[in-house]
Every structure is written in C-alpha cells, then in structure tokens.
Structure 1
Amino acid sequence: MNIRHHFDDATLMAYAAGSLSQGMALLVACHLHWCPECCERVRQAEAIGGVLLDKIAPLPLHDSALDQLMARLDDDMAMEVSSLVKPAEIPAGVPAPLHHYINSSLEQLPWKRLGYGVHHIDLNLGGKGTTRLLKIAPGVSVPHHTHGGNELTLILSGSYTDEIGRFSVGDVADLDGEVHHQPLVDTDQDCICLIATDAPLKFTGLMGRLVQPFIGM
C-alpha cells in the first residue's frame, strides 16, 4: 500500500490527547491500522504529552476513585472471549477498528441510495457531526463544496481526484473550511470512503444547495 496523504500534526496530537470526537478518532485509528508513518508520529505525540503531564502538579483523588477504576477494569475483563474478533475473520480491505462497527465486508453492507451514483451508510455514532461510509460510482463526482468545520476522509477502496490531488486506498484528506473541492471518482471501480465531519458541508453550487437538505450532509 502506497500511502501519500497523511494527517496534519494537529489532528494526530488531538488523537493522542483523546480530544477527537468518536467518529474522527475511529477514522484516525483506521488509518493507523495501515500507516506505520502516522503510527510513529502518534507515538511521538504521546511521548510529548507524557512529558507535559509530568510537569503538572498532581491533584488529590476522590476517596472512591480507586474503587471506580477497579469496577471499570472488572467490566472490561468480563467481556466474553467469543465476542472478540480474530484477525483472520476481518474481511480484506476493512481496517480492524471499523470492522468492530460494521461486522461485515464492504460489499455486503446494506447501502442506501443518497443520489445518482452515490450510496451511504450512517454509522450513527452520535455526538457532534456525522460519521458515514460513502460509496461513489465510477465517473461520479460530489458537488463542489467547502466545509463548515473539519472533515476527515479515509479511502477504503478505489480512488478519487480533486483540486488537492489524487487519493487512493489508505490516503486521508484532512480538510477544513479553507478548502474548496469537488472529488471525482477516476477509475472504473466504486470509491468507498469513511468520512467524519464535525459540521455540515457548504455546497457552493446551486444544485448542491438544493439537494443538501435531503441528503443530510
């Protein structure tokens, strides 16, 4: 796998600090499943965080803190072994962190039509923003848009091209409101992406603005 597009430092620092939303943290974890370079950058960020924590004066804990911690550990240990997913059971092309949520191959998912040549699955993770899988047919493009906040995209299958460059399997697009683009699927196979946002997209064309209330993006 030849990964050419990676996360910004700020995104990996936020992941290491545990401050990303559930959807964005899931997407980062999926990329790390494939990318040794970003794994090393996360380790460096965690090391920096550890040094900073060492410089913070400790605060007294509540009397029940230890009991609460032990109770949480007991709950984790109570997980049945049969519920764990063995690596051999994870379908090809599905990062292990994502398989925990979909428990299926990408091809067998119950895709829902979103528009011409576009299907999706909302992972319904709750919280701010949305996290969804998007499947776009060959030759189809997403309407030209920018972003009301941050958007992370991980390519799981196929590829697309936009104003930034070409993105293929394992690549991530780490975007904000300063980026305007129109991704176009540039091969003869579907492009399947995992996308996490913390605010709705801002479509710049008339057609995009007209359909946005119906597609929920």
Structure 2
Amino acid sequence: MTQQITHHLTDNILMGYAAGTLPEAFNLMVATHVSLCDACRAQVESYDAVGGAVLDQTPGNDISLTPGSFAATMALIAGGAPDEIRKPRSRDVVLPKPLQDYVGGGLDSVKWRSIGMGVKQAILPTSKDASARLLYIPAGAAMPDHGHHGTEMTMVLQGAFQDEDDYFARGDVEVADSDLHHTPVADIHEDCICLAVTDAPLRFQGLLPKIAQRFARI
C-alpha cells in the first residue's frame, strides 16, 4: 500500500545519516522512515553517491590489495555462509523492518510500560547520546504540553496525531526543536503508535508531568 507521507525528514538529518554522523537513535528514525518513504530514500541514496564520489577523488584513499586477496575472497564465497538459525521475519503491518530488529519481532513483541493516563512506552536499546522509544497513545488522548531542550523527532506508525503545528499520519515525521512548544493529541478514530527519538530531555510546565518525567526518562 502506498504511503501518503507529507511530512519528511530534513536534508541535514538525511545527510548526517548518509555520512554516519548521527546518534544511533536518530539513525533508527531515519532507517524506519526511509523504509516507508520513497522520496527520502532517494535523497539518502543520492547523498551516498556524492559521498562515494568525494572519497574516490580524495588523495591517499588508494588501497592496494595484497597478493592472493582475490583468490582468498573467492574461496570464502565458494565455501558458502555458515549454517545459522534464522528467525522468520514478522509480517507485522505496524512496525517497519528496522524497528522489528530492535524490538525482536512485531508489535506483539513490544514490552510496553504504563506512564499514566493510558499512555504506554517502550524504551529501545540505543547508545546514550540520544534515546528512542515507542509510544502508545489512546485515541483522543492528549500528551502533556511541552517544549524541547534539544531535538525531538516523532514518526507515526499507526493512527495519527495533531498539534498546534499540523496533522501527522502514518509515515509522517514531526521534527521539533527548542522553538516548538506543543500539545500532541491522538486522532479520535484510532489509537496512535509512534517512534520518538530525542537528544535531550523534554521541557514540561506542569508539576505532575515533571514528576513523571523522572520515572519515564523522557
């Protein structure tokens, strides 16, 4: 099914992904988005091509192979890959393949933890320079109003949400920075599931959200 994606990742984020300079959590966001978005995937491929051309033209990047390298490589190919047990790929329609690799399966494999008001989250294992989590927001429910100390990217996997900025449906990504203060509200027609990544804690105004923030690590 074709994804009607109208909110994409920025060029700076896509270039950082191609260059390998993003935190692991942000790489996960990009990989998940481009698995659904033809436009952003084409952009990443173009940046990869440009990067490869630059490396080819950079002095000192000539690599000489040792004698016998080709023969040794062909021998490894002829030997075949070692036998291994492969887990069958999930046919989950909510989680794209990059997320399934982190979760260990489809949506049924997500280990949700309640953070109040019907909202649940599952923190994904990534490096400490940024965090990634799956969020489950009941239909019609609102997240606490908040700002941002750094960058937050939120991608819709199921349902939709709306805030003061726009409306975001499956595949759409909202990129928020310190200039954006908003109150995301899940669409009333379906529970909303999102992937959210941040490189700094959120900035809450209310007392209860501030208290919950310590336990939810957001």
Q: Is the 8 A contact 1:90 1:96 kept in 2?
A: no
Question: Secondary structure of the residue that 1:131 maps to in structure 2?
Answer: strand
The alpha carbon displacement at 1:192 in A equals 0.4
Q: Compared with structure 1, are the counterparts of its residues 128 and 190 closer, same or farther at alpha carbon in structure 2 (3 Å cutoff)?
A: same
Q: Compared with structure 1, are the counterparts of its residues 60 and 42 closer, same or farther at alpha carbon in structure 2 (3 Å cutoff)?
A: closer
Question: In structure 2, how many angstroms separate the alpha carbons of the residues matched to 1:23 and 1:85?
Answer: 25
TM-score (norm 1): 0.84
Over alpha carbons, which structure has the higher Rg?
2
Structure 1 portions without partners, runs of 5+? 62-66
* Alignment partner of 1:93 is 2:128: no
What is aligned with 1:6? 8
Range that drifts further, 179-188 or 165-174: 179-188
Residue identity in the other structure for 2:53: V
What is aligned with 1:64? none
Question: Secondary structure of the residue that 1:16 maps to in structure 2?
Answer: helix
Cα-Cα RMSD: 2.7
Question: In structure 2, how many angstroms separate the alpha carbons of the residues matched to 1:171 and 1:96?
Answer: 17
TM-score (norm 2): 0.84
The alpha carbon displacement at 1:215 in A equals 2.1
The alpha carbon displacement at 1:116 in A equals 0.8
What is aligned with 1:157? 158
Q: Compared with structure 1, are the counterparts of its residues 32 and 200 closer, same or farther at alpha carbon in structure 2 (3 Å cutoff)?
A: same
What is aligned with 1:185? 186
* Alignment partner of 1:82 is 2:67: no
The alpha carbon displacement at 1:85 in A equals 4.5
Q: Is the 8 A contact 2:55 2:61 kept in 1?
A: no
Which of 3, 14, 17 is residue 15 of structure 1 equivalent to? Answer: 17
Q: Compared with structure 1, are the counterparts of its residues 146 and 78 closer, same or farther at alpha carbon in structure 2 (3 Å cutoff)?
A: farther
What is aligned with 2:114? 113
Residue identity in the other structure for 1:19: T
Question: In structure 2, how many angstroms separate the alpha carbons of the residues matched to 1:90 and 1:78?
Answer: 25
Which of 21, 32, 35 is residue 33 of structure 1 equivalent to? Answer: 35
What is aligned with 1:143? 144
The alpha carbon displacement at 1:201 in A equals 0.8
Question: In structure 2, how many angstroms separate the alpha carbons of the residues matched to 1:36 and 1:122?
Answer: 27
Question: Secondary structure of the residue that 2:139 maps to in structure 1?
Answer: coil
Question: In structure 2, how many angstroms separate the alpha carbons of the residues matched to 1:187 and 1:81?
Answer: 45
Q: Is the 8 A contact 1:129 1:200 kept in 2?
A: no
Question: Secondary structure of the residue that 2:99 maps to in structure 1?
Answer: helix
Q: Is the 8 A contact 2:115 2:212 kept in 1?
A: no
What percentage of residue pairs aligned between the two structures are identical?
Answer: 36
Structure 2 portions without partners, runs of 5+? 64-68
Range that drifts further, 21-30 or 199-208: 199-208
Residue identity in the other structure for 1:44: S
Q: Compared with structure 1, are the counterparts of its residues 97 and 3 closer, same or farther at alpha carbon in structure 2 (3 Å cutoff)?
A: same
Q: Is the 8 A contact 1:90 1:99 kept in 2?
A: no
